[in-house]
Structure 1
Amino acid sequence: MSPLVHLCTPADWRAALDDGALRPPGPFVHLSHPGQVHVPAGRLHPGRRDLVLLVVDPARLPDPVREEPDADGTRFPHLYGPLPTSAVVAVVPYRPPAEPVLPAPDDALGRAVALSLSVRTRRAAEVRDVPGGVAVLDPRFPHSYDDNRVVLGEPVDADTVARAVSGAGLAHPVATLTWPGAGDVAGRLAGSGWQAEELLVMARRPTPGLPGAERAEVVDQREVHPLWEASWRRSLAGVPDLDEVVAQLVGREARTGRVVAVHDVVVRADGRVVAAGQLRVDGATAAVESVMTDPAARGRGYADAVLARSLELAAGAGCDLVVLEADAADWPRHWYARRGFAVVGSVWETTAPQAGGATHDSSR
């Protein structure tokens, strides 16, 4: 069964995530087949490029969908009841005239990539079109590479990547390549002096009742700040303006909760947060981010407890897919694999050389 779509504002979708459903203003939610969405977009939101498309799996809808004529006689699917957030398998930025890429319900990689791109786009202070994708920028956090980068989802060659990065006005020349087979282009960039890092996209179904989940709790994000600050200071020791860099990297995180549902999960020891992770829920897809343990508290199963509670939360939110990204060259990928995550594909982080030939660390 082909997906349906619903066009809405990011604010309306964020409110729906808290409510568990997008509720119709009248007797039905106006849906579209993918090839029709330009009609309601032009009629209701002419010229806007800050909207999102909810990709809806019809099989997950509890209420009837009826094909009915609109005011001009065009037939559209109408959902007679609320649209559950658990029926939305992806949330895709709608930026015409670019054709949106709509992942199928069973496309774990497509849904993971859509979530990553969508979060970056929705929380960005500015979004610019570049060949093959967008540049996201946020001058409030210039030290955050994650918020000031090019993200490319359509196949382009290495020269086009380089031009997109150089023309985007980035302080840190970073590009994420997300299309299948992007490793070939990343390899060519590496041959030109770029830094290229493969990130494995891993996925599994959420599961409630895993051992250890009861040891973890959900807290206000500010309680995690000391753990984050200590981690960034260790990894960035020697970086100029370290205090300002760390302040930005910690401060940026509050924006994510304004576009998706965020759960900060921690384990305490002697009243102090010693392990943490973040779960981001966007409809039926959730992402695990930033699982970490204080070095002095490792080896006690705290990260397992954080992950178990996160998977429980995802199941409770109606998600059927939990995803994450892991460095292909680092040990956490094996840790996640032992806990049921399977590799479904990869994306590439590429960083242009600095003047003098050095490269930036794209992990910020």
Structure 2
Amino acid sequence: MQDFRLSFARRQAAEVREVPGGFLVLDGRYARSHEHNQLHIVGPADPEGLPALADEAMAFLPHRQITVHDQALGPLCVPALERAGYRHVTEVLMVHTGPVPRAPAADVVERELGPDPHGPLRRAVTAQQRRWMPDADERTTHDLVERRTARLAGAEQVLFLAAHDDSGEITSWADLYLEPAAGIAQIEEVVTAEPYLRRGYADAVVSSALRRAAAAGCALRFLVADQDDWPLRWYGRRGFTAIGRTHVFSRF
């Protein structure tokens, strides 16, 4: 899984720069997206030296983000990076160990984020982004919505899945990254629009993603969840099991 995630980060990047212990990904098209402008550390690395390394490598960016993928190294980096003003989030890698759902709970259609700025998925994602960040400027909203286009290059197949209600309005969505040759699939960014919460739409999207991944021959199906947020338990009830952790450090 780590190899897949690192490969995905490199493949979707507009530019990759090697640094001691890892690499820096950059994409000026989505400058406000921390996902696309951050350091990936795989080790070995000096925890005390990471703040200076980030300042040097990302000097031209207004933010700092460092993802430490090594499970042993990550916790060792917490004291030095927190002293340097970084916020720490632990991400949990979860593998699907339950049965593949037989059918989704609601209609799910596959939609790609194409060039149409008024497409239904783009509208839904934009509306939800503005609910999350009502004070964000237009450039920030643009980057956080449009960055999905970069993800198309990250894996052999990248699908954007969406559930909809009876009127056809998109209610929930997720990314699905497939690497059939390696037998690996990742489900990412599962979101339900706030007006449609607690109606089973996210279940429909995750169910569809698992079925598509299994049909593509991906026996290893995983996702990433915040250790301190409620979706971790929600995924656990749907057959996902925690098997590892990465550590993300951010400073704004």
Common fold, TM-score beyond 0.5?
yes
> 1:121 — aligned with what?
10
| Matches of 2:101 and 2:241, distance apart in 1 | 20
Quote the offset at 1:206 in angstroms.
7.7
Aligned length: 240
Check conservation: 1:206, 1:314, Cα contact below 8 A: no
> 1:15 — aligned with what?
none
Which amino acid in the other structure matches residue 255 of structure 1?
A: A
Which amino acid in the other structure matches residue 132 of structure 2?
A: S
Which amino acid in the other structure matches residue 249 of structure 1?
A: L
Aligned pair in 2 of structure 1 residues 280, 302: CA closer, same or farther (>3 Å)? Answer: same
| Matches of 1:317 and 1:213, distance apart in 2 | 21
| Matches of 1:322 and 1:114, distance apart in 2 | 14
Check conservation: 1:198, 1:327, Cα contact below 8 A: yes
| Matches of 1:162 and 1:201, distance apart in 2 | 25
Q: Which runs of 5+ in 2 are unaligned?
A: 114-118
Which amino acid in the other structure matches residue 199 of structure 1?
A: E
CA RMSD of superposed structures (Å)? 1.7
Q: Which runs of 5+ in 1 are unaligned?
A: 1-110, 353-359
Deviations 1:244-291 (A, max 9, x none): 111111112112113421111111111111111111112311111111
Quote the offset at 1:123 in angstroms.
1.6
> 1:272 — aligned with what?
169
Check conservation: 1:199, 1:327, Cα contact below 8 A: yes
Verify: 1:252 aligned to 2:147, yes or no: yes
| Matches of 1:116 and 1:171, distance apart in 2 | 25
Matches within 5 A, 1:301-316: 301-316=200-215
Secondary structure of the 2:152 match is helix
Quote the offset at 1:309 in angstroms.
0.4
Check conservation: 2:159, 2:175, Cα contact below 8 A: yes
| Matches of 1:206 and 1:120, distance apart in 2 | 28
From 75, 79, 86, the counterpart of 1:194: 86
Check conservation: 2:94, 2:222, Cα contact below 8 A: yes
| Matches of 1:157 and 1:210, distance apart in 2 | 48
Greater relative CO (CA pairs within 8 A, separation 6+): 2
Give the % identical residues. 28
Quote the offset at 1:126 in angstroms.
1.1
> 1:6 — aligned with what?
none
| Matches of 1:263 and 1:214, distance apart in 2 | 18
| Matches of 1:144 and 1:129, distance apart in 2 | 20
Mean Cα deviation higher: 165-174 or 343-352: 165-174
| Matches of 2:235 and 2:178, distance apart in 1 | 19
> 1:133 — aligned with what?
22
Which amino acid in the other structure matches residue 149 of structure 1?
A: Q
> 2:228 — aligned with what?
329
| Matches of 1:327 and 1:246, distance apart in 2 | 22
Quote the offset at 1:150 in angstroms.
0.4
Greater C-alpha radius of gyration = 1
Alignment TM-score, normalising by the size of structure 1: 0.63
Check conservation: 1:150, 1:164, Cα contact below 8 A: no
From 172, 188, 191, the counterpart of 1:292: 191
Quote the offset at 1:207 in angstroms.
4.8
Verify: 1:339 aligned to 2:230, yes or no: no
Alignment TM-score, normalising by the size of structure 2: 0.89
